[in-house]
Structure 1
């Protein structure tokens, strides 16, 4: 076991930094501003949401949150197109240059792209006070521009396995447009519907990326430990992804529950088998690895709940949504951001002690949020506790990683 792969809970010397925080460092690589903002926005947006539902439950004035349409729709939208979109942006702007050997987006172009994302968040937060066309333009702009930057690099070395991310970004963009048209009553469409589809598009992204990085990182950690290595079976990999895509398409098109349930069941079994073969249990001594397996396990849980819901009335839809959203997206986002930020800034791949606690906190948040709709008594308390655990997880991540993401890459280690 190398020092780079061992989690130590003993005090360690601080690694030297090449300089203090600066905008130059922040906009030197795509993961920096977007991972930092994903963590900060996740905590802030959930704090606002918790404050709103608390005032609503108390019967107090709710107009202090000046959003157009339902505040519930704003919350759902911002968790996908605000928080998750920022994490996707940071991932693609970091991964695509590695896939293609091209130079990453830096400096002013990166700052402009980030400002586009930020303008969308401000516009959505003030959507009840601004003209609808302006809100829609500012919010929708980010993903197409991100896709254009990615496409410009992907065409250098076109590969179907990478170009599919452009299709998924395009699908998210269409979902966002439909949300705005439905939220403003320009279409006879429930604005929650395109957000739910967008949520599942993000899950497809996670399933694709997870299939690449989880067994690879697990192999790296297990290598030399005389333990069985992760396995990937080609037909199982294809079946798992095909069944997940089929489930999403059937849900999006309003197919009969029987077909949706069968697709969800096949996908749950296939992804569960995929996860077992990746040998996650063998990594239980290494938080920065096992958390990836835990995040992926929430996809299996969400699919299993969706299958059960299709054949019975025993599962509330909110539990399914939050198994995917709070569980899979929340956990995998923390896992990838915490690991990639260390590696790309020249630090050892060792989870800082506070970050291990964020893994536990996000797991608690997901478990409580999924369980809450099943409780008749204590549901409100569980929802509040889930929100507080989410806020704590991402606040702690932001606090720990702010100096990492805003200072230059380490050039020496002692």
Structure 2
């Protein structure tokens, strides 16, 4: 067991991707339990956190769960991009502890000073960004340095939430939206790289030499710039029509380039089509958010299409692929993991229905969505549990 613990903190993807999966389960069990009691006519009058339960739920699914996924990804990918030395055990353990301290501080915020809660919760992303910066400087490239700006936007969203909770400003909604849309902008950048690249590589391995995935440069630039502008517009006091136009354009751009990545070719490779599915949800969510700004459809439904389908789907796909690949295992999703990929859109659609079908369908849709989400990440955590704790597979073992 001591060796397994040492291994867990030996690579960023191990502890952070495990923590992300477990926290995704915990956060929804809490939300489901609270909501289920109220749906049954009961009442829970006190929780350990200071925020109303729906805001705790929103904060942790916007800033808590994704931060763990980002920690695992950047600590694993950046050294590969730059050739820099990977983070040592001690740093990874300290960073993971700081992320967990933020979750605990939010959980017990009902009995802690708001300023102390803010300081603890806001500490993780700057530490991660500082480490990423030192590694990126080993081989600085603008297309990689921009991730620091996106992390700063996400952190600023969390800051706005805490300033509201402290009582300094009234920026709660702006902070939550900035955090979610900036995370989606990060996915637009990262997913726009890995989805076509991984698909292209798989097609070449299969002997395909024509009609490979690709994106014209102007469309690629638009698909990155528009989500970033949408995130900024979500936090600034701009007219709804401005935000709506940007979100619609972002959705159209994402959809256009995603269609050029040969998604149909991946139908029998879950490890690939989960990424295409996540990027399709990103396009759909932006488009729905744009329509909602013009009074068509539910904004809450659009936010959950982004949160569940895009953020949940892309992190699930990237985390599981990276965990398998960096453990020396074949890039083939085991059956339970493929089932998790297939179930996540069910969670997204159920949550959309909960917000779109009126009060009669709210509890049914939301509770079903949460139950499926818990099943998804239980399958993920259970399937990859030995990967996170175990030794790397020997070369040539598969």
TM-score (norm 1): 0.92
The equivalent residue for 1:155 is 137
In the TM superposition, residue 381 of structure 1 has moved relative to its aligned partner by: 0.9
Q: Hey, what's the Cα distance between the residues in 2 that align with 1:245 and 1:54?
A: 36
Q: Of Structure 1 and Structure 2, which has the larger fraction of its residues in helix?
A: 2
Supply the distance in 2 between the matched residues of 1:56 and 1:141 (Cα, whole angstroms).
34
- For residues 206-255 of structure 1, the C-alpha deviation after alignment (integer angstroms, 9 at most, x for no partner) is 01001111111101111114662112211110122122222222222122
Out of 245, 252, 256, the residue aligned to residue 262 of structure 1 is: 245
Partner of 1:299: 282
> Do the aligned partners of 1:287 and 1:356 also contact (CA within 8 Å) in 2?
yes
Contact 2:10 2:88 in 1 (8 A): yes
CA distance in 1, matches of 2:240, 2:43: 40
Q: Is the 8 A contact 1:76 1:192 kept in 2?
A: no
1:70-109 maps to which residues of 2 (within 5 A)?
A: 70-109=52-91
CA–CA separation in structure 2 for the residues paired with 1:272 and 1:97: 31
Q: Deviations over 1:319-373 (max 9, x none)?
A: 1110110110001111001111000000000100000110111111011111221
If asked which structure has higher relative contact order (CA below 8 Å, sep 6+), I would say: 1
Q: Separation in 2 of the partners of 1:157 and 1:246?
A: 27
Q: Which runs of structure 2 are paired with 1:232-271 in the superposition (5 Å)?
A: 232-271=215-254
**SS of the counterpart of 2:242?**
helix
**1:288-367 maps to which residues of 2 (within 5 A)?**
288-311=271-294, 313-367=295-349
Aligned residues: 394
Distance 2:355 2:315 in 1: 24
Tell me the equivalent position of 1:382.
365
Q: How much does 1:65 deviate?
A: 2.2
Supply the distance in 1 between the matched residues of 2:61 and 2:16 (Cα, whole angstroms): 14
CA deviations on 1:56-80 (whole Å, 9 max, x unpaired) are 3445442452111222111111112
Deviates further, 337-346 or 66-75: 66-75
CA distance in 2, matches of 1:118, 1:305: 33
Cα distance in structure 2, aligned partners of 1:405 and 1:63: 38
**Runs (5+) with no aligned partner, structure 1:** 1-18
Conserved 8 A contact 1:231-1:277:
yes
1:377-398 superposed Cα distances (whole Å, 9 cap, x missing partner): 3321111110000000001101
Within 5 A, what are the aligned runs for 1:201-212? 201-212=182-193
Q: In terms of mean alpha carbon deviation, does 24-33 or 49-58 score higher?
A: 49-58
What CA RMSD, in Å, does the superposition of the two structures yield over aligned residues?
Answer: 1.6
Corresponding residue SS for 2:110? coil
Matched, 1:167 2:149: yes
In structure 2, what is the Cα distance between the partners aligned to 1:107 and 1:20? 13
Secondary structure of the corresponding residue to residue 315 of structure 1: coil
Counterpart selection for 2:174 from 164, 169, 193 = 193
Q: Secondary structure at the match of 1:391?
A: helix
Q: Which runs of 5+ in 2 are unaligned?
A: none
* Higher mean C-alpha displacement, 207-216 vs 128-137: 128-137
Change (3 A) 1:20 1:67: closer
Any idea what SS the aligned residue of 1:22 has? helix
SS state of the match for residue 378, structure 1? helix
For 1:176 and 1:185, locate their aligned partners in 2 and report how far apart those are by CA, in whole Å: 14
* Counterpart selection for 1:135 from 107, 113, 117: 117
